[in-house]
Structure 1
Amino acid sequence: MAEKKTSRDLTFPDNSLAVILYGELNKNLQLVEQNIGVKIHVRGNGVHITGLGHEVDLTADLLEQFYDLLKKDFKIYSSDFAFGLRVLEASPKAKLAKIFLDKVYITAQNRIISPKTQNQKNYIDAIRHNDVVFGIGPAGTGKTYLAVAMAVSALTTGQVRSIILTRPAVEAGEKLGFLPGDLAQKVNPYLRPLYDALSDMLGPDKSADYIEQGIIEIAPLAFMRGRTLNDAFIILDEAQNTTREQMKMFLTRIGFDSAAVITGDVTQVDLPRSEQSGLIHAKGILKNIEGIQFCNFSKQDVVRHPLVQKIIGAYETHSKNK
């Protein structure tokens, strides 16, 4: 039996907040209409929603929860509606405030960094309560960015004395051998995303100052060999491109009062076919150790341009069909 169409009226007492909720030229409401399939008509500080029953209920819940967020001084962007919708579609009983109001860090531009999906929230909580956390999933899910935000927060609140950011430079051998400069100069392009994330958090001047003082270190993974890293927040990015030996080397560098976050995408391994990814290997043998937690992301957690989620889905479908 086909689901019947229904309607529902919502009223938002604070007219100024209602205007923000709707967005400029009702842009936020239009986004909801396009993604859910309902029709929303504005009636002053209220709205009239029509559509299938479950669509109307989802729309009402989404708008009411975002209105409550506005009452708590949460600054809403149009993209937040897309993120909130994904959360509620996956978990209809979810409370967006528990996710969106979790302030990880406030950037130099006074922008609040917070999780945008349930998996991102779980990831942040895992970092808070475990010494070693693996974040595994596709590009654009915030694995590295949120880890850097947590690291900067730990540094600025005195939980650690230094931040160490590292990546394997899988192309730092003969393919880059013709380039001028030493190893550090050759692999610098591989480390650029980490510099960009830091600059976003701290501002370019402060991040450069911390790097010059050695409080923040950004280096290829090979530079970690033989060291013991105490009182530090350590991030290994692009970990799918570590070998088994490199992953073991990195994990055994962790010293006292340190935390480590390892991020990677197991579908983007650039190692030779004969070489097993250290990330995939570690996931198989470390999953039952207390103090180590694995957090998995999917295309539903992508927080980049909406097309990125569709692109990832298309590649996943092609891979399965092949």
Structure 2
Amino acid sequence: MSTGTLGDAILEFPDNRLLIDLCGEYDRNLTDIESRTGVQILRRGNQLALHGPEEAQVAAREVLSALYERLEQGRSVGHSDIDREFRLAPDENAADAQLEMFGGGKIEIKTRKKLIEPRTDAQKDYVASLYRNEMCFGIGPAGTGKTYLAVAVGVNMLITGAVDRIILCRPAVEAGERLGFLPGTQEEKVDPYMQPLYDALNDFLPGKQLARMREEKTVEIAPLAFMRGRTLSNAFVVLDEAQNATTMQMKMFLTRLGEGSRMVITGDRTQVDLPRGVPSGLRDAERILKPIDGIGFNYFTAADVVRHPLVAAIIDAYDKDFEGTT
């Protein structure tokens, strides 16, 4: 990089084809970066000129350089990648260096269909914790990737032979409305509650392979109630929507952990759908288990929401309203 007149920063890129991909269709990627930094970006041949405050230029330069490096590695660049570069701290988190499997570099999760990269520092710490701890809690609002990343790590561990099977479960609790008796077989009755877990698996495994794994019980999706009496060995086990488990259900689930297994519990303390007066097992587990070594607790906020930007704003608004009424 060199500096032009009037304090402009000039970035030069040797491969013009990669520069085209960096800019995006109709310069969409540059427009995204401009809106986030307040810097004006002009393309001049194989150079990009950055106009704006020096601090903003530095931020834009770092993001552009990181994205170009992705392209040099043969990866694509899109809105989610730009979002990730802005959210993450410039230096690698200390947790990266503690995980030999990542070689001290970027944390990535390889699955059959895609490569998953955490998009916030909290997500990076969470993924590192999933690999480091045999039991891990992910607690925070909707849209922060708690379940998605846990399932991705589970798929990665399955295809690398670290575990023999994946077991995903959640409480079959209705979210504030009575649906009555559902028609169909037992599996058809509980499928609507399990759909978010199916969606995550379909993102990471080819359809035919997933169908075969389900037939062979290599991948199992079941309501929490079906876990009673089982010992889950050599498995990656995820309890989703754990805020809707009662204290006794939570204890029952946690004590299913067997040799060679990993267990992940995810939930949002603000979305409890249990009957009034019934305490959430997630809150009790958090209070009771925090002093135990080897159990990881990871927390997310609205700043970690990776869905539509409005989702973060909605969560913030509800949090502020709740604080104002208490």
Q: Give 3-state SS (helix, strand or coil) of 2:290's partner.
A: coil
Q: What amino acid maps onto 1:128 in structure 2?
A: Y
Q: Give 3-state SS (helix, strand or coil) of 2:144's partner.
A: coil
| Equivalent residue number for residue 161 of structure 2 | 158
Per the TM alignment, residue 13 of structure 1 is displaced from its structure 2 partner at its CA by 1.9
Q: Percent identity?
A: 49
Alpha-carbon contact 2:234-2:259 (below 8 Å) kept = yes
When normalised by structure 2's length, the TM-score is 0.88
The answer to whether residue 10 in structure 2 is matched with residue 12 in structure 1 is no
| Equivalent residue number for residue 86 of structure 2 | 85
Q: 183-192 vs 242-251, which deviates more?
A: 183-192
Stretches of structure 2 that go unaligned for 5 or more consecutive residues are 1-5, 97-101
Alpha-carbon contact 1:148-1:197 (below 8 Å) kept = yes
| Equivalent residue number for residue 107 of structure 1 | 112
Stretches of structure 1 that go unaligned for 5 or more consecutive residues are none
Distance 2:167 2:140 in 1: 22
Per the TM alignment, residue 182 of structure 1 is displaced from its structure 2 partner at its CA by 5.2
| Equivalent residue number for residue 198 of structure 2 | 195
Distance 1:321 1:107 in 2: 46
Q: What amino acid maps onto 2:112 in structure 1?
A: T
List aligned pairs for 1:257-296, cutoff 5 A.
Answer: 257-296=260-299
Distance 1:199 1:10 in 2: 40
Distance 1:188 1:158 in 2: 28
RMSD: 2.2
Alpha-carbon contact 1:9-1:47 (below 8 Å) kept = yes
When normalised by structure 1's length, the TM-score is 0.89
List aligned pairs for 1:279-318, cutoff 5 A.
Answer: 279-318=282-321
Distance 2:185 2:62 in 1: 57
The superposition leaves residues 136-182 of structure 1 with CA deviations (integer Å, 9 ceiling, x where unpaired) of 1111111111111111111112111111110001239x944433345
Distance 1:72 1:179 in 2: 50
| Equivalent residue number for residue 258 of structure 2 | 255
Distance 2:47 2:322 in 1: 46
The superposition leaves residues 118-147 of structure 1 with CA deviations (integer Å, 9 ceiling, x where unpaired) of 211111111111100111111111111111
Alignment coverage as a number of residue pairs? 310
| Equivalent residue number for residue 3 of structure 2 | none
Q: Give 3-state SS (helix, strand or coil) of 1:57's partner.
A: helix
Distance 1:31 1:267 in 2: 32
Per the TM alignment, residue 106 of structure 1 is displaced from its structure 2 partner at its CA by 3.1
Distance 1:203 1:210 in 2: 11
The superposition leaves residues 197-225 of structure 1 with CA deviations (integer Å, 9 ceiling, x where unpaired) of 11221122211111111111111000001
List aligned pairs for 1:81-230, cutoff 5 A.
Answer: 81-87=82-88, 91-94=89-92, 101-108=106-113, 111-171=114-174, 175-181=178-184, 183-230=186-233
Alpha-carbon contact 1:241-1:270 (below 8 Å) kept = yes
